[in-house]
Amino acid sequence: MRKVLARSGAIAAGVLATVVLVASPASAHVTVNPKEATQGGYSKLTFRVPNEKDSAATTQVEVNLPQDAPITSVSVKPVNGWTAEVTKSKLDKPIKTGDGELTQAVTKIVWKADTPAAAIQPGQFQEFDVSAGPLPKVDKIVFKALQTYSDGDVVRWIEEPAADGKEPAHPAPTLKLVAQSSTSTAGGGAANAGANGNGGKDASAAEDGAADSRATLGVGLGIAALVVAIAGLVLAGLAWRRRPTA
C-alpha cells in the first residue's frame, strides 16, 4: 500500500508539473504580422512588441528596414501616446519606378513613448502598424529591432534562424515573401491577405486564435489528468486507512 501511495503521489506531481509547463506562456518576442506576403505587392505590417520585464516599461521601439532590399513606399500609422521618427537613407543603387529613379528609401523607424504612462507596461503589449510596398523580390525580409526599457536595458532582436532551423534567443522579426505566380486562391490565402492589407491582420488573428485554442486544449487535458491522479491518490489513502488491523 505504501508503494501505491508513493506511485500515486509521483504521478500527481508529474501531472502537476506538466500542467504548469503547458499553462506557462512561451517567451514573447517582437514579431511582424502577417508572417507571409507577396513579392511586388503592398502589405500592412504589424510589429507586435510585448513587455518581457516585471519591473520596467518599454519606452522605445526601433525597427530597421534592409537597405539591400529597399521598400519604395513606407507610411506609419499613428499610435496614441507615441511619436514615430522615420529615417531615410541614400541608396547605393537607385531604384527605377514609374515616377523616375528613387535615390533614397526608409531604413529605420523609431517609436518613442511620449509619457511614462504611454509606455508598454509589464504584462502588456503594443502594436505598431506600417504600410509598405511594393515588397521586393526576395525570399524574406529581416527587420532587426531594438527594444528599450525604462531602466536603460536594450534588447536587440536581430538574430536570424540558424542553418538547422533552431530559433535563436533573440530572433529578428522576419517576413517571408512568395512570388505572385506561386500564390493561388486555395494555397496562398495568407500571402494574398497580407498583400491586401486588412487580411494580413485577419490572418494574424486567426493564427493567434489557433495558438490560443491549442494552449487551452493542452491546459484542459492537463487539468483532467491531474484530477484523475488526485482521485487515485485519495482512493489509495482511504484504502490504506480501512486496511485490517492486526
CB neighbour list of residue 102: distance below 8 Å, 6 or more residues apart: 70, 72, 91, 94, 95, 96
Tell me what pLDDT residue 28 has: 79
The reported pTM is 0.66
> Would the pLDDT of 94 be above 90?
no
Residue 97's pLDDT band (cuts 50, 70, 90): confident
Q: pLDDT tens across 119-154, in order? A: 999 999 999 999 999 999 999 999 999 999 999 999
The yes-or-no verdict on residue 23 having pLDDT over 50 is: no
**pLDDT number for residue 6:** 55
pLDDT higher than threshold 80 for residue 166: yes
Domain boundaries, the chain: 37-187
- The answer to whether the peptide bond before residue 66 is cis (omega within 30 degrees of 0) is no
What confidence tens digit (pLDDT) does each residue in 35-64 have? 999 999 999 999 999 999 999 999 999 999
pLDDT digits (tens, 9 = 90+) for 73-86: 999 999 999 999 99
pLDDT category at 162 given cuts 50, 70, 90 is confident
- Please name the residues in contact with 29: beta carbons below 8 A apart, sequence gap of 6 or more: 50, 157, 170, 171, 173
- The phi and psi torsions of 156 (rounded to 5 degrees) equal -100, 105
Higher pLDDT, 181 or 135: 135
How would CATH label the architecture of 37-187?
Sandwich (2.60)
Cell of 31: 514579431
Assess whether the previous peptide bond of 94 is cis (omega < 30° from 0): no
